[in-house]
Structure 1
Amino acid sequence: EEEPDEEPLPPILLAIPTRALAFLEQSAHQWDFDPFALTDMTGERPIRSMGLYLFHQFDLTDKFGIQLPVLEAFLDLVEEGYKRHGNPYHNCTHSADVAQTCCFILSRHGLASWLSDIEVLALLFAALIHDFEHTGTTNNYHVQSRSQLAVVYNDKSVLESYHVSAVFRKMHEQGAKCNLVKCLSPTEYRQFRSLVIEMVLATDMSTHFAQVTAMKDAIPCPENLPRVDILAYILHAADISHPAKIWRLHERWTGKLTAEFFAQGDREKELGLACSPLCDRDKTMVASSQ
Structure 2
Amino acid sequence: MVRRAEHGSLTILRRNNTYRKRSKPRLVSMLSDSTELLQPRAQDPEACGRAAVRLRHLLSMLDKGEVSPEIIQNNIEYALRVLETFNINEKRCPSEDEEDELSEVQQDAVPPEVREWLASTFTRQNTLHKKRADGQPKFRTVANVIRMGIMVEKMTRRMSSSGLMEVPPAVTAALQSIDSWSYDVFRLAEASGGAPLRHLGYELINRYGLFHKFKIQPAKLDTYLQTVEHGYGRYKNPYHNSSHAADVTQTVHYIMSQMALVRFLTDLEVLAMLLAAIVHDVEHTGTTNNFHVNSSSETALIYNDKSVLENFHVSNAFRILREEECNFLCNLSREEYTELRSLVVDMVLATDMSSHFQQIKCMKNYVINSESAVDKSKILNLVLHCCDISHPSKDWELHSHWTKLLLDEFFLQGDKEKQLGLPVSPLCDRATTLVPQSQIGFIEFIVEPSMSVCGELLEKVAAYLHGAETGGAANGIDYKPGDVRPARPPLPWSCRPWEECLAYNLECWRRKEQAEQSTESRQPSKERWSEEEEGGAGEGEQEKEDVDAESSTDQQSPSPDT
**Which bracket does the TM-score occupy, shorter chain normalised?**
over 0.9
Alignment-derived partner of residue 380 in structure 2: 231
Q: Does the C-alpha gap of structure 1 residues 18 and 221 become closer, same or farther in structure 2, counting only changes over 3 Å?
A: farther
SS at match of 2:430: coil
How do 1:1-290 residues align onto structure 2 when only pairs under 5 Å count? 8=63, 10-14=158-162, 15=165, 16-25=167-176, 27-172=177-322, 174-175=323-324, 177-221=325-369, 224-290=373-439
1:57 offset after TM fit, Å? 1.3
How far did 1:276 drift? 1.4
TM-fit CA distance, 1:114:
1.3
Do the aligned partners of 2:320 and 2:326 also contact (CA within 8 Å) in 1? no
SS of the equivalent of 1:90 reads coil
The structure whose Rg is larger is 2
Structure 1 residues 153-162 or 7-16, which shifts more? 7-16
Shift of 1:258: 0.3
The answer to whether the Cα contact below 8 Å between 2:224 and 2:320 also exists between their aligned partners in 1 is no
Q: Measure the CA separation in 1 of the matches of 2:332 and 2:369.
A: 33
Q: Distance in 1 between matches of 2:161 and 2:330?
A: 22
How many residues get paired? 284
Write the distance in 1 (CA, Å) between the matches of 2:320 and 2:333: 20
Alpha-carbon separation, structure 1, partners of 2:369 and 2:197: 36
- In structure 1, C-alpha distance between the alignment counterparts of 2:285 and 2:257, rounded to whole Å: 32
1:180 is displaced (CA, Å) by 2.0
C-alpha distance in 2, partners of 1:96/1:55?
13
Taking every aligned residue pair, what percent have the same amino acid on both sides?
48
Instruction: Output one character per residue of 1:66-119: Cα deviation in whole Å (capped at 9) or x when no partner.
Output: 011011011111111101010000001001100000010011111112101111
- The answer to whether the 8 A contact 1:89-1:253 is kept is yes
TM-score (norm 1): 0.94
**Distance in 2 (alpha carbons) for counterparts of 1:288 and 1:57:** 41
Distance 1:289 1:162 in 2: 28
Q: Distance in 2 between matches of 1:170 and 1:57?
A: 24
Cα distance in 1 for partners of 2:272, 2:426 equals 32
State whether residues 199 and 231 of structure 1, in contact with CA within 8 Å, keep that contact through their aligned partners in structure 2. Answer: yes
Q: Is the Cα contact below 8 Å between 1:131 and 1:160 reproduced in 2?
A: yes
Q: Residues 66 and 180 of structure 1 are in contact (CA less than 8 Å); yes or no, is this contact kept in structure 2?
A: yes
Q: What secondary structure, in the 3-state scheme, does the structure 1 residue paired with 2:327 have?
A: coil
Q: Which letter maps to 1:155?
A: D
**RMSD of equivalent CA atoms:** 1.7
SS in 1 for 2:381: helix
Q: What is the TM-score with the length of structure 2 in the denominator?
A: 0.49
SS of the residue corresponding to residue 304 of structure 2 reads: coil
Higher relative contact order (CA 8 A, sep 6+): 1
Q: Deviations over 1:142-166 (max 9, x none)?
A: 0000000000000000000000111
Instruction: Provide closer, same or farther for how the CA distance between residues 106 and 221 of structure 1 changes in structure 2, counting only shifts above 3 A.
Output: farther
Q: Distance in 2 between matches of 1:259 and 1:11?
A: 43
C-alpha distance in 1 between matches for 2:263 and 2:367? 21
| Maintained 8 Å contact 1:202/1:232 | yes
**Offset at residue 231 of structure 1 (A):** 0.5
- Partners of 2:347 and 2:384 within 8 A in 1: yes
Counterpart Cα distance in 1 of 2:311 and 2:388: 16
Return the alpha-carbon distance in structure 1 between the equivalents of residues 221 and 369 of structure 2.
38
Cα distance in 2 for residues equivalent to 1:277 and 1:191: 38
| C-alpha displacement of 1:221 | 4.2
Query: What SS is found at the alignment partner of 1:232?
Result: helix
Cα distance in 2 for partners of 1:227, 1:189 equals 18
Return the offset for 1:48. 0.9
Structure 2 CA distance for aligned equivalents of residues 10 and 41 of structure 1: 23
Shift of 1:286: 1.3
Post-superposition offset of 1:240:
0.4
Secondary structure at 1:224's aligned position in 2?
A: coil
Higher mean displacement: 189-198 or 279-288: 279-288
The 2-side partners of 1:119 and 1:250 are apart by: 29
Cα contact 1:82–1:133 (8 A) shared by 2: yes
Kindly provide the amino acid, as one letter, of the partner of residue 401 in structure 2: R
User: Which structure shows the bigger proportion of residues in helix conformation?
Assistant: 1
More deviation, 155-164/205-214: 205-214
CA distances 1:9-37 after superposition (whole Å, capped 9, x unpaired): 72443433222123212x10000000000
- Secondary structure in structure 1 of the residue aligned to 2:368: coil
Q: For the residues of structure 1 that align with 2:269 and 2:260, how far apart are their CA atoms? A: 14
Distance 1:214 1:286 in 2: 31
Local SS of the residue matching 1:162: helix
Distance in structure 2 (CA, Å) of the matches to 1:285 and 1:63:
50
For 2:192, give the aligned amino acid: T
Unaligned runs of 5+ in 2: 1-7, 9-58, 64-156, 440-562
